[in-house]
Structure 1
């Protein structure tokens, strides 16, 4: 744990203050209490950053699993331990796409998706209206189901994609069942197509591209990106990094894609990623591979719910989360080991609401 320690010193050296120390103490106290009461479980790492200062950093010991490898046993986590991000990887791919677009390596969002893959010769009346924008916002309108079936089920669309002789053809050949842009359907295949376009345009794997143009400019430590047995990148869920480095992604977002006087991701692209395109459900909206929602905090009066602010979120299976609340200049990054459980979303939500936001005076 650290109080008032700069996580990104180049963005401004700040000393510990009474306010930050009280915030940190309250977060730690509430976290310890919630864990003792088993309201939060299987937490591996937590980093809270506000105003570029590392407010809280906590690590624990627990069972872990690595995408593409399997169970890796009990791990004693620390600041240098890399961890699966699972579907938080999707949000990172969106940032990479914006960087590649800036370099002219990938087509613009308005371009037809099918035309970006001429090698498959799949143009028809149903698929022609689908654009890269629809892939970025997961509104392609094609038949895809990876939410109603467990990932162990071969009928799950993502598992079927992984098993297909050509994963990209499999995704592109899915039948059209809805008007593009009308509804949101969670689709790892969309992310795979985006990553493929980055590789086609840059000549680099998604991880190589990320290391050169995103991870290393941010000063990240070791990272990995899982691949399938045939060497294809698991774009939608294969990224691995430390929870502290995940927090750096959040801080980059807060600064509009800028770090150390360098514009790493175009500011306009950050805006597009965090602008609602479609509703996912009653609470969440979706931009470009990022979830968007409103959160309340503060002490309510009467029937009031407290202050409401927009939050940007990357989320991954097992309880991996990156929460970004621009109005509070707040980033919360956490990793967990609740893979494959029905209640895996409960601990991250409680950390957000009952531990961190409840500690803001």
Structure 2
């Protein structure tokens, strides 16, 4: 074989080996996985389901993407591959991703005062976009759910006196600390980010912006996002996506904000999302807060929240067991929707079993 032709085939083979898989209209299937590790993974996620007591691990959807290909998918209950499932607080990470597109368009920076985009926050002029993304607004907030509804700020915001204008309700909360100094998980902070986005992109673009900026470029066709009575997206809770569509957001984040040949999110934005909040103290929450994402990082000598998963694992998490895990070092994205009503489901256990069944990168 002529030397030039030989070099051509070497280059062609090299490109084939290093080619990335990206979903088209559908996810392409990856190499089949079988064996006892897969059965153990499946048995943990899908034990016998009792819809009367609603106890135990109750998985609605479970999907695994490895190296950009679909290698596992199963549904239960009323959920199917075509069901836009309520994501609950995964919506917060989705809002951070939408904001990342606006950041890449040069519309704001992390140190901008939020009042620049949402004027009612002029009473808190030092609060920045980064403060809200770290859940560090300094506004007093009680993130209690159905087990303590009478003192819950989030229940009041979503369902009673704050539901018509959620950002305005949040602004009216008393300050308990200076902005940026203390982590306190708050759905109200996410509501303020959503209201700020309206000022960032302008009212004319706002209603379509999550679709034009993020969903459509990723090929997401069936997203639903509820608004309050003022037309502001309920960024804390009420985005609905199919498991397959949510996995596209995970793959975008796993690949540092790049989708195919397009850098949809700036790399420094993704790095910010994945960097622990500097003033977070160990064990304040079940995972370490980044920029509206959750991280598997050790803080102040405390062990990682999910010790059986790599340190680069990060996640979008929601009430009742909603979870999207991204593990860049393993080229894995895992979407899990659930209807868990107790503490039976454990993030670390699912991640441990998933890594045994699907771990080990296929591509460099």
TM-score range, shorter chain: 0.7 to 0.9
Counterparts of residues 1-361 of structure 1 (less than 5 Å): 8-9=22-23, 16=30, 20-22=31-33, 24-26=34-36, 28-34=38-44, 35-36=46-47, 41-60=57-76, 62=77, 75=78, 77-105=79-107, 107-118=108-119, 120=120, 122-123=122-123, 127-147=124-144, 150=146, 153-162=149-158, 163-164=161-162, 166-202=165-201, 203=203, 208-228=208-228, 231-278=231-278, 279=280, 281-282=282-283, 284-294=287-297, 308-338=310-340, 341-343=341-343, 346-353=345-352, 355-359=353-357, 360=359
Q: CA deviation at 1:49?
A: 1.0
- The 8 Å contact of residues 142 and 152 in structure 2, kept in 1 or not, is answered as yes
User: Higher Cα Rg: structure 1 or 2?
Assistant: 2
- The 8 Å contact of residues 280 and 286 in structure 1, kept in 2 or not, is answered as no
Q: CA deviation at 1:228?
A: 3.4
Q: CA deviation at 1:308?
A: 4.0
Q: Distance in 1 between matches of 2:182 and 2:316?
A: 20
- The 8 Å contact of residues 130 and 140 in structure 1, kept in 2 or not, is answered as yes
Alignment correspondent of 1:72: none
Which structure carries more strand by proportion? 1
CA deviations over 1:104-152 (Å, ceiling 9, x no partner): 44x322122234333x3743xxx333212101111112211113x5377
TM-score, normalising length: structure 2: 0.78
Q: CA deviation at 1:168?
A: 2.3
Q: CA deviation at 1:45?
A: 0.8
Structure 2: where are the runs of 5+ without partners?
1-19, 50-54, 299-306
Number of residue equivalences: 318
- CA separation of 1:318/1:206 partners in 2, compared to 1, >3 Å: closer, same or farther? farther
Q: Which moved more, 1:161-170 or 1:259-268?
A: 161-170
Q: Distance in 2 between matches of 1:277 and 1:256?
A: 19
Secondary structure, counterpart of 1:185 in structure 2: coil
CA deviations over 1:47-84 (Å, ceiling 9, x no partner): 11111121111112x2xxxxxxxxxxxx2x22211101
- CA separation of 1:313/1:15 partners in 2, compared to 1, >3 Å: closer, same or farther? closer
- The 8 Å contact of residues 207 and 225 in structure 1, kept in 2 or not, is answered as no
Q: CA deviation at 1:336?
A: 0.8
> CA RMSD for the aligned pairs?
3.0
Q: CA deviation at 1:212?
A: 0.8
Structure 1: where are the runs of 5+ without partners?
1-5, 63-74, 296-304
- CA separation of 1:40/1:328 partners in 2, compared to 1, >3 Å: closer, same or farther? farther
Alignment correspondent of 2:9: none
- The 8 Å contact of residues 114 and 121 in structure 2, kept in 1 or not, is answered as no
